[in-house]
Amino acid sequence: MIKYIKVRSKSKTEGKVKATKAKIAEIYFRESELDSIDFLKEGLALIDKDVIIDMINDLKNTATS
């Protein structure tokens, strides 16, 4: 999972005044270890856990179809 946020920063956009994306978290995980991830650190939010669970379920459903 890679989480990005929208930023408006001249240093991030090479001096231009426009928005860009900045990576705030990159996580590699196993489904069995999902509960051990601290979703209050490194730019994550508790809602991210629900999103990951939904993604896993979608992948499982796609694989069995």
Say what the pLDDT of residue 15 is.
Answer: 66
Residues of the chain with pLDDT under 50: none
Say what the pLDDT of residue 3 is.
Answer: 78
Give the count of domains, the chain: 1
pTM of the model: 0.52
Say what the pLDDT of residue 41 is.
Answer: 77
Distances (CA, A) of 52 to 2, 6, 12: 11, 20, 28
Say what the pLDDT of residue 13 is.
Answer: 59
Say what the pLDDT of residue 4 is.
Answer: 79
Distance of CA 4 to the CA centre of its chain: 6
Can you give the residue range of the structural domain that contains 52? 2-64
Distance from C-alpha of 7 to C-alpha of 20, rounded to nearest angstrom: 5
